[in-house]
A and B are shown apart, each in its own frame.
Chain A
Amino acid sequence: MDVAGVAEGADVAGGAAGPVLLEARGLRKVYGSGASEVRALDGVDFALHQGEIVVLLGPSGSGKSTLLNLLGGLDIPSGGTIRFDDHDLTKASGEALTRYRRDHVGFVFQFYNLIPSLTARENVALVTDIASRPMTPEESLAMVGLGERLDHFPAQLSGGEQQRVAIARAIAKNPQLLLCDEPTGALDSHTGRLVLGAIAEVNRRLSTAVAVITHNAVIAGMGDRVISLADGRIVSETRNAHRLSPLEMSW
């Protein structure tokens, strides 16, 4: 299969959304060396447009997290380029990557990664303390439906609530990019739908570009585009005629 061709097609087909925000070409990531070498990503071309939701689908170990980490500036690729606006992330210093994450990217992780010693409000404040144009923690938490639980510690919140705090924390900086790695992986389906609903709501209200990783095919319906990965390569890309609301999905 012509992977590059598929990716190029995606570029053209992305007309429905805004201009290209983030673009990766020939992305490779190799862990280890010699006999224990793992090719986690093996030549991936990928673009993310302003305002769209892309669902990255693939079995465990297919390289989804690796791709997301590279796009979010958490890691450096072994080969290929990533461009954000006019910046080449592959050539950026650690400092510049920190600034990139601070100003432009919001992360949502499978295990929430909240700071257990901080309340919901304080967890969000971690971001608003350092971002350049943040909303207030209260606004951000209200947006994910947690306006009432500002002063609860993570241990006093359910899994779904914790993940919504994580989303609030990710969006409080008004990011251009929201990267979610298996956001529902640790949640039951009802709670998972609530969390995905919050993400879709953020995309609708702030026109943030969203990439959602999942190994759950049902979730693919919420995306404008669905990209499937296997063994570090993109194996298919489909465009949904219309996005499903997470509330309409069931698994």
Chain B
Amino acid sequence: MKTIYVLWERQLKRYYRSKVRMIASLAQPLLFLVAFGFGFGPIYNKASGGNYIDFLVPGIIAMSVLFSSTFMGIEVIWDRQFGFLKETLVAPVSRFKIMLGRTLGGATVATFQGLIVLLLSMIIGFRPKSIESVILSIFFMALIAIIFTALGTAIASQLEDMHAFQLIINFLIMPLFFLSGALFPLQGVPKFITVLSSINPLSYGVDALRGAMTGNLHFGLIFDAVVLSGVAVLFLSIGAYFFSKIEA
């Protein structure tokens, strides 16, 4: 337990000590929030009668968690280049625990990023239903974060090159984001988008966050929670498998 804890703590320290990273990773969600919120807002409001900010904010929070957690994988490549990875790879601790500690640390950081985006969006007028709904949202942010940190870690375990990692991740997360219902509702979209978004784990995350914060649901909260937990276990196992195969 203690070993998982120290590796978790290490990720937090590294994040906390890198203020630039902290701020830079907030820029993108903010940009989306402002551009889409004020750009599409009026059209959406006229078309559906709902408030677009209410619709958009949970999606942008999911996005910010998705981006920061997937990019956590770069820490593995970073550690490999700085040589620290070997130190953990020869330690008398199962690779699964090492991977779990790192992943939970990265996921905590990503969840925290999502929470900051939530606070920022409250400045532009977003109001979650209640305190309980915020707590429930944090739970779902954490699930999303675990899934995608594990995914990023799995991919990074296979690569030595940071640029390759960045390319692959960009290629991967854009479709995940656009086909998740974060920006537009999944009702009444063409069939192939419905199909693609239903196999996209992030869709359930977006749905759960939106449900928790505003009460609007597409799939259902319990269903979302079950799907997300299942995917989290699956991705953690895959990540742990690839991580255990790393050679130095």
Is A bound to B?
no
